[in-house]
């Protein structure tokens, strides 16, 4: 909803913060929203069954600022609950471990595109900046290229990396699926596919905090596999599969590469090789051999490792992990 102020439209922004046992970090996250130089926002904090002090902290903040709303649930679909509750023109997601720069909302308020990508600082637990994810480096690319690179994960999926028009989400019933990791891929595909306009904020306004061991926080050996097949089914239902079949093949292959890499990290050499070879056989059955593999839109790492996976030679993954551990 936009209000008219002095003859101009005032944009309202909705920040959605899913929360689960985040008592150590949630205050920093909330304070970064309260510090915004742009004041026309609402914050929807969705507590997803926390067993620590998270909910009481959220309620205390809500009592002091009417722009903060607290939802409490325990069905692991926190982001969808936030989307349904939101009344703003744009939705942004903020993870409870992360925080935003004070000018984020001010910069976003100048945009009117359906999807607005933002640059992201990756920081370690001490707050040191590790690198900048420059989503804006893709500003010169066409929508089809961005869409395909998101499908394979070359262009990062995460909901925190973009603001999305609430009207568009509602118009096309875009919501998150219940996949534990790959739901980001499905949400991102829908958002970009239906977007008429895309823009970028070329300043790192979001701080993504990387915790030690975070890459292995999901226990599954195959975090992307189910999502690649779900997206394939979804595109078939929408009548879009033929158009994106080669990129779906690339997604299926990338998912297998990630799975083999994770397997070789977690298991002994012999057990890892057996499990990895089994995963490769599953992947080969999933590939659509009537269509090529879209290597162009895969990440450099995935393209490099693809020949090993396709040939069934998984020992290099084991030695790569040994080298990484050594250095």
pLDDT number for residue 27? 98
Buried b (16+ CB within 10 A) or exposed e, 103-134: ebbebbbebebbbbbbbbbbbeeeeeeeeebe
Measured CA distances, 125 to 18, 104, 129, 208, 210 (Å): 20, 22, 10, 10, 6
pLDDT number for residue 86? 97
H/E run at residue 189: helix 183-194
Buried b (16+ CB within 10 A) or exposed e, 264-296: bbebeeeebbebbeebbeebeebbeeeeebbee
- Among positive and negative, which fits the CA dihedral 315, 318, 324, 327? negative
User: Contact, 207 vs 165, CB < 8 A?
Assistant: no
Helix orientation angle between 26-34 and 54-64, rounded to the nearest 10 degrees: 20
Q: Between the CA atoms of 150, 154, 155 and 156, what dihedral angle is there, to the nearest 10 degrees?
A: 90
Q: Enumerate residues 6+ apart whose C-beta is below 8 A from 179.
A: 186, 226, 227, 230
pLDDT number for residue 81? 94
Nearest of 193, 18, 226, 35 to residue 114 by alpha carbon: 193
In order along its 327 residues, the chain shows pLDDT tens digits of 444 444 445 799 999 999 999 999 999 999 999 999 999 999 999 999 999 999 999 999 999 999 999 999 876 689 999 999 999 999 999 999 999 999 999 999 999 999 999 999 999 988 999 999 999 999 999 999 999 999 999 998 888 999 999 999 999 999 988 766 567 888 899 999 999 999 999 999 999 999 765 444 456 899 899 989 989 998 998 899 999 999 999 999 999 999 999 999 889 889 999 999 999 999 999 999 999 999 999 999 999 999 999 999 998 887 787 777 666
In the numeric block, which tokens belong to residue 286? 């999933």
Please give the Cα distance from 73 to 185 (Å, whole number).
24
Residues in the chain: 327
Alpha helix segments (H runs only) across 65-133: 78-85, 104-108
Please give the Cα distance from 163 to 185 (Å, whole number).
15
Please give the Cα distance from 71 to 246 (Å, whole number).
41
What backbone torsions phi and psi does residue 256 show, to the nearest 5 degrees?
-65, -40
Please give the Cα distance from 327 to 324 (Å, whole number).
5
pLDDT number for residue 183? 76
Global pTM reads 0.88
Please give the Cα distance from 165 to 180 (Å, whole number).
24
Residue with tokens 């593999």, as numbered in its chain: 293
DSSP-assigned letter for residue 210? P
User: Contact, 103 vs 92, CB < 8 A?
Assistant: no
Q: Which residues pair with 85 in a beta bridge?
A: none
Distance, C-alpha 231 to centroid of its chain: 15
């Amino acid at each position: 909803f936009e209000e008219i102020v002095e003859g101009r439209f005032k944009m309202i922004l909705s920040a959605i913060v899913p929360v689960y046992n985040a008592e150590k970090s949630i205050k920093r996250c909330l304070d970064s929203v309260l510090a915004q130089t742009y004041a026309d926002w609402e914050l929807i904090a969705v507590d997803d069954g926390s067993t620590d002090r998270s909910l009481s902290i959220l309620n205390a903040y809500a009592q002091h600022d009417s722009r903060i709303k607290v939802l409490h649930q325990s069905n692991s679909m926190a982001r969808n609950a936030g989307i349904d509750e939101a009344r703003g023109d744009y939705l942004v997601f903020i993870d409870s471990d992360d925080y935003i720069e004070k000018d984020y909302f001010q910069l976003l308020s100048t945009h009117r595109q359906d999807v607005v990508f933002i640059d992201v600082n990756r920081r370690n637990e001490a707050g040191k900046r590790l690198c900048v994810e420059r989503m804006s480096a893709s500003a010169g690319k066409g929508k089809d290229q961005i869409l395909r690179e998101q499908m394979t994960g070359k262009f990062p999926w995460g909901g925190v990396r973009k603001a999305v028009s609430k009207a568009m989400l509602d118009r096309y019933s875009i919501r998150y699926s219940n996949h534990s990791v790959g739901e980001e891929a499905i949400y991102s595909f829908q958002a970009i596919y239906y977007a008429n306009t895309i823009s970028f904020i070329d300043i790192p306004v979001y701080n993504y905090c990387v915790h030690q061991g975070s890459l292995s926080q999901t226990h599954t050996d195959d975090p992307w596999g189910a999502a690649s097949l779900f997206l394939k089914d979804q595109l078939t239902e929408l009548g879009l599969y033929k158009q994106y079949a080669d990129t779906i093949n690339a997604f299926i292959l990338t998912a297998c590469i990630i799975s083999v890499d994770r397997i070789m990290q977690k298991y002994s050499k012999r057990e890892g090789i057996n499990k990895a070879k089994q995963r490769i056989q599953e992947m080969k059955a999933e590939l659509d051999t009537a269509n090529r593999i879209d290597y162009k839109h895969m990440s450099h790492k995935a393209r490099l490792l693809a020949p090993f996976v396709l040939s069934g030679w998984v020992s290099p993954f084991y030695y790569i992990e040994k080298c990484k551990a050594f250095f």
